[in-house]
Structure 1
């Protein structure tokens, strides 16, 4: 199998967590770590370094501009590292730092809470009258 095909298979298997289903109501969850996409980027990078295009695949709803802004903010905050490899064309990879990796249990806890309580939260929003 050609190297590119192997890389695409690896990317599809290891970067597309099932929780990124387009129907996922993640924007309804009241717990947010960093920007809207930060938690999902952490989940994508949790299994190892990824290139920008490898992050775009599971994060279909994010524009390249917003993903770039998210990665820059995460790098600024010490959550990810950006490594430019001296190749032609240049290859850039993003990886979680130990600080970024420390978010994984928090994201898991928020996800577990949401799975249990999201129906109640959405029902309360439907019946709320200011």
Structure 2
């Protein structure tokens, strides 16, 4: 295997994680992060660990299937931790990992932007719908 310079290695990583390439792992992660439920689930855990039922009560409208699927995906991606306590009945708590916590400021900025700009979005939609 030929030796590569640091610059060559950096360029290879840059190409390997190009989110504009469909097969890129970064593209798939962005797909997960932009999912309707991901941000809501992460935000529901921002105040600390919660049980499945607590999360379901906070995130209105999510089905049990989608909640389970999203929790598993986030656990697989290292954004949340699932802690099982053997008791009767078994207790399962979900909490954010440090990686998951690092996303909270980004989600907060996105939420703030959406809240601050909803009037403009509604106006743009109305204008578009009038023309089209």
TM-score norm. by structure 1 comes to 0.70
Task: Tell me the secondary structure at the aligned position of residue 102 of structure 1.
Answer: helix
Give the number of the structure whose residues are more often helix, by fraction. Answer: 2
1:40 aligns to 2:40 (yes or no): yes
Give how far 1:33 is off.
3.2
Q: Tell me how far apart the structure 1 counterparts of residues 36 and 61 of structure 2 sit (CA, whole Å).
A: 11
Q: Which stretch has the larger CA shift, 84-93 or 32-41?
A: 32-41
Give how far 1:111 is off.
1.2
Q: Is the 8 A contact 1:35 1:70 kept in 2?
A: no
Q: What residue in structure 1 maps to residue 91 of structure 2?
A: 91
Unaligned stretches of 5+ in structure 1?
Answer: 1-31
Number of aligned residues: 99
1:114 aligns to 2:75 (yes or no): no
Greater relative contact order (Cα 8 A, min sep 6): structure 1 or 2? 1
Q: What residue in structure 2 maps to residue 103 of structure 1?
A: 103
Q: Tell me how far apart the structure 1 counterparts of residues 67 and 34 of structure 2 sit (CA, whole Å).
A: 13
TM-score norm. by structure 2 comes to 0.69
Give how far 1:34 is off.
3.6
Moved over 3 A (4+): none
1:26-50 CA-partner distances (Å, limit 9, x unpaired): xxxxxx9342111111111111111
CA RMSD of aligned residues (A): 1.6
Unaligned stretches of 5+ in structure 2?
Answer: 1-31
1:12-62 CA-partner distances (Å, limit 9, x unpaired): xxxxxxxxxxxxxxxxxxxx9342111111111111111000101111211
Q: Tell me how far apart the structure 2 counterparts of residues 67 and 34 of structure 1 sit (CA, whole Å).
A: 15
